[in-house]
Amino acid sequence: MGDVKDLRNSEAVEKIQELAGDIKTCMFCTYKDNKMESRPMSSQKVDDEGNLWFLSDRNSSKNKAIHHDDKVDLLFAEGTDKFMLLHCTASISADKEKIKELWNPIAKIWFTEGVDDPAVSVIKVAFHDGYYWNTKHGKMVEMVKMAAALATGTTMDDGIEGALSK
């Protein structure tokens, strides 16, 4: 078993910023009739409070689901060395200043009229708690340790994991 290090407050926010920044795309999960619905989404920003920000079509099924039930879960995974689950509450706005702040050229693929597209909305996702797992020493060291464990018939766990909370 790897090391366990639970993170609270600013340490949790730093871990969320690190992993969400590295991974970028998550499975954004909403709930309808107690069933999870998920779709890939790229976060545009993680602020200093650990809130994640997304651009979304105001007419999307995701936005409709949030209006019905604001509980969302975000699942981040990259390769074999970075994982994070966040339990959150989402809110939707049409704040033009926030849209301009979060805007990037790739967003024009979904919002052809640009930053002033009437369909664009902002989703703020406030995390309550979660869990993370990643390697202690990075991918290259992990691969060397895995090869050594295979060659010697020993176990190798270079992971560090823990709860995330405010």
pTM of the entire structure?
A: 0.86
| Domain CATH code at residue 160 | 2.30.110.10
Residue 55 has pLDDT above 50, yes or no: yes
Range of the domain at 157: 3-165
> DSSP state, 43?
-
Q: What is the mean pLDDT of residues 67-83?
A: 95
pLDDT interval class at 60 (50, 70, 90): very high
Q: What is the mean pLDDT of residues 48-64?
A: 97
Residue 27 has pLDDT above 60, yes or no: yes
Q: Which of 49, 50, 24, 57 shows the shortest CA–CA distance to 123?
A: 57
Residue 78 has pLDDT above 70, yes or no: yes
Distance of alpha carbon 96 from alpha carbon 99, whole angstroms: 5
Q: What is the mean pLDDT of residues 33-56?
A: 96
Q: What is the mean pLDDT of residues 103-125?
A: 96
E strand spans, the chain: 3-4, 7-8, 25-32, 35-42, 45-46, 52-57, 71-78, 82-93, 120-135, 159-165
**pLDDT at res. 113:** 96
Q: Which of 38, 99, 98 shows the shortest CA–CA distance to 65?
A: 38
Distance of alpha carbon 101 from alpha carbon 71, whole angstroms: 25
Total domains in the fold of the chain? 1
C-alpha distances in Å from residue 125, one per residue of 9, 47, 54, 92: 16, 10, 8, 9
**pLDDT at res. 1:** 52
**pLDDT at res. 146:** 41
**pLDDT at res. 157:** 59
Residue 132 has pLDDT above 50, yes or no: yes
C-alpha distances in Å from residue 166, one per residue of 30, 76, 105, 141, 163: 22, 19, 33, 31, 10
pLDDT tens profile 81-94: 899 999 999 999 99
**Which residue's entry shows tokens 């039930």?**
69
Name the 3-class secondary structure at 9. Answer: helix
More confident: 81 or 31: 31
